[in-house]
Amino acid sequence: MIPAIKIEQVQKHYGALQALKGIDLTIEQGEFFALLGPNGAGKSTLINLLAGLIKPTSGKLAVMGFDVQADYRQARHALGVVPQELVFDPFFNVREMLRFQAGYFGRGPENDEWVDEIIECLGLADKAHTNMRKLSGGMKRRALIAQALAHRPPVIVLDEPTAGVDVELRQMLWEFIKRLNRDGHTVILTTHYLEEAETLCSRVAMMKQGQIIALDTTANLLKKIPGKNLRLKLSAALPESLRPLLRHEEAFEYMLALTEVTQVEAVLAQIRQAAIAVEDMQLIEADLEDVFVDLVSKP
Amino acid sequence: MSIISARMRGPWTLFKKELLRFWRVSFQTVAAPVMTALLYLLVFSHVLEGRVQVHGLNYTSFLIPGLIMMSVLQNAFANSSSSLIQSKVMGNLVFVLLTPLSYLEFFLAFLLASVVRGVAVGLGIYLVAIVFIDLPMAHPLLVLMFAVAGSAFLGAFGIIAGIWADKFDQMAAFQNFIIMPLSFLSGVFYSIHSLPPFWQTVSHLNPFFYMIDGFRYGFFGVSDISPLISLSIVLGSFFAISWLALTMLKSGYKLRG
């Protein structure tokens, strides 16, 4: 099967700045894929290259087998992009914007039923005739997602779609996106909410300084990190002997990385020996954030 | 069944959106320029009527075609340039850049919308003016050709300005330091034969002069320059400026990094 996305040796330079340093990435059709990384890692640059908004310095990118430069019409037909910024056209209402967006892709009145369906599914029905500039931030975000879907693309890219969105709307958006994925759409997302990537995505690429530093299934990435985190709130500073286990600290609150649950007893024994009281304690499963912090903090 | 094919629906949609964009604010984009032109007409005709004759015409009659064409040109420019700069500053141009529209389709949609606005404003001024003044039209086809070719030239010019400008200040500079002087010094208010030889020569370098002179010929059958020469120069200028705009769009200059 043709991959949904194929990126080969892509580099992007802005003068002396190397935004992307030779990216290779293949995303299969039907995947729910996360692209993670700190600000400036190159995630948005990669998305903009896929969307044809910028041109690569070298390398090739294809969407559903279509080169984003040479076969740009087919590649763009296959791609729906939700931009990170809350951009909108202040002259039109929601339904007009969606119909225009579908029209740019050659879809006419036969597509209106689909436009009405996404308006309904995204909870925009009572705002369909409201001017875009009068929508709240959350509603604008929904309209942006609807715009990306208006031409029924098989591949959907969401660049930080839940940034600044309240919990209720975030849940609703993810239910909708999950449904699209179940219906066969390939979904690629960048997010700062790592628990979202962990819950939703089957595969993850982590980026740092224009390179992919980890690419694996979410399950495999989670295996790379010690099994448990022990969060402790102590009456005094952590004994020096426990510092090698320290993941991070804040005041007298410490997060220790444990490989096995049996280590808990030894840790507590050392704390008792140092005459320090445990004020609060929690044993937490290691998550994608731990993997992310581990990889990104490595020099 | 739709009369627009799927292939043509993309550029047609962009054209339709651009039309609706200015029509939604038609008080600002159509009614206001008509009003401004009529105020010019009122003031200049009141001051100069009976004192000045040009090409054997009374001054008010001479002035109207020039005012119509000046408004056509300024509004055609304003349409494409303001739409592009607004979309760039607001960030919503991305919705068009993400689509499979080619650079040529993008160009044609913006250009045609500019022509429609320019001609709509010109028609508005004409219809109001003929209520008060008898204005014959000797060559209606030439009037239409000059109006369309002139507004197409300025529409393409507006696309260049809209792509180039990054902020409203730069666009205002384009409008006030290039478009406004070229349109005011093009023979709207006078015949260039009344100018000293040096300024006559300078006027011949201004493409707006040929647009207005040819347009005026369409009404009265008299002009400073042969209308065929004017039409050739206007079309030549249009193709040259369109080539530049298309080259910018094709390269992605300031639009696709």
Q: Is residue B257 part of a domain?
A: no
Grade residue B210 by pLDDT with cuts at 50, 70 and 90.
Answer: very high
Q: Which A residues 83-122 touch B at CB under 8 Å?
A: 83, 85, 87-92, 96-97, 100-101, 103-109
Distance from C-alpha of A195 to C-alpha of A222, rounded to nearest angstrom? 12
Clarify whether residues A232 and A271 are in a common domain. Answer: yes
Number of domains in chain A: 2
| DSSP designation for B134 | -
Number of domains in chain B: 1
Clarify whether residues A217 and A229 are in a common domain. Answer: no
Mean pLDDT of B15-32: 96
CB-closest option in A53, A106, A147 to B7: A106
Clarify whether residues A283 and A203 are in a common domain. Answer: no
Mean pLDDT of A117-131: 94
Clarify whether residues A97 and A216 are in a common domain. Answer: yes
> Which residues from B are below 8 Å from A101, CB to CB?
95, 99
Clarify whether residues A198 and A267 are in a common domain. Answer: no
Mean pLDDT of A37-63: 94
B1, pLDDT greater than 60: no
Question: Residue B139: which of B256, B230, B238, B245 has the closest Cα?
Answer: B230
Clarify whether residues A179 and A256 are in a common domain. Answer: no
Q: Is residue B78 part of a domain?
A: yes
- pLDDT number for residue B48: 72
Contact between chains at B99 and A90 (C-beta distance less than 8 A) = no
Clarify whether residues A168 and A192 are in a common domain. Answer: yes
- pLDDT number for residue B2: 64
Question: Residue A29: which of A62, A52, A55, A53 has the closest Cα?
Answer: A62
pLDDT by residue (tens digit) across B126-184? 999 999 888 889 999 999 999 999 999 999 999 999 999 999 999 999 999 999 999 98
Q: Domain boundary residue among A203, A222, A241?
A: A222
Look at strands A278-285 and A186-190 and give their pairing.
unpaired
Contact between chains at A106 and B92 (C-beta distance less than 8 A) = no
DSSP 3-state assignment of B54? Answer: strand
Clarify whether residues A120 and A135 are in a common domain. Answer: yes
Instruction: Determine the length of chain A.
Output: 299
Q: Domain boundary residue among A222, A253, A274?
A: A222
A49, pLDDT greater than 80: yes
Q: Is residue B256 part of a domain?
A: no
Chain B, nearest residue to A56 by Cα = B257
Q: A265: domain range? A: 225-297
CA angle B177, B181, B186 (to 5 degrees): 155
Q: Domain boundary residue among A172, A192, A222?
A: A222
Distance from C-alpha of A218 to C-alpha of A213, rounded to nearest angstrom? 14
B213 touches B225 (CB < 8 A): yes
Grade residue B6 by pLDDT with cuts at 50, 70 and 90.
Answer: confident
CB-closest option in B4, B25, B90 to A108: B4
Question: Percent of chain A scored above 70 by pLDDT?
Answer: 98
Clarify whether residues A204 and A237 are in a common domain. Answer: no
pLDDT by residue (tens digit) across A140-183? 999 999 999 999 999 999 998 877 778 888 888 888 899 999 99
Chain B, nearest residue to A72 by Cα = B100
pLDDT by residue (tens digit) across B55-106? 777 888 889 999 999 999 999 999 999 999 999 999 999 999 999 999 999 9
A56, pLDDT greater than 90: yes
pLDDT by residue (tens digit) across A246-288? 888 888 899 888 878 888 899 999 999 999 999 999 988 777 7
A289, pLDDT greater than 80: no
Contact between chains at A87 and B92 (C-beta distance less than 8 A) = yes
Distance from C-alpha of A23 to C-alpha of B225, rounded to nearest angstrom? 62
Q: Number of H helices and number of E strands within chain B?
A: 12, 2
Clarify whether residues A271 and A260 are in a common domain. Answer: yes
DSSP 3-state assignment of B61? Answer: helix
Distance from C-alpha of B128 to C-alpha of B130, rounded to nearest angstrom? 6
Look at strands A58-63 and A66-67 and give their pairing.
antiparallel
pLDDT by residue (tens digit) across A206-223? 999 999 999 999 888 877
A23, pLDDT greater than 80: yes
**ipTM above threshold 0.85:** yes
Distance from C-alpha of B36 to C-alpha of B183, rounded to nearest angstrom? 15
Grade residue A127 by pLDDT with cuts at 50, 70 and 90.
Answer: very high
**Chain B residues contacting A via beta carbons under 8 Å:** 2, 4, 6-7, 9-10, 12-14, 16-17, 20-21, 24-25, 87, 90-92, 94-102, 252, 256-257
- pLDDT number for residue A169: 83
**CATH code for position A73:** 3.40.50.300
Clarify whether residues A215 and A231 are in a common domain. Answer: no
Question: Residue B145: which of B125, B117, B115 has the closest Cα?
Answer: B115
Q: Which A residues 124-143 touch B at CB under 8 Å?
A: none
Mean pLDDT of A56-84: 97
- pLDDT number for residue A6: 98
A225, pLDDT greater than 70: no
Q: Is residue B160 part of a domain?
A: yes
Average pLDDT, chain A: 91
- pLDDT number for residue B50: 67
A196, pLDDT greater than 90: no
Distance from C-alpha of A140 to C-alpha of A118, rounded to nearest angstrom? 14
Q: B214: domain range? A: 6-251
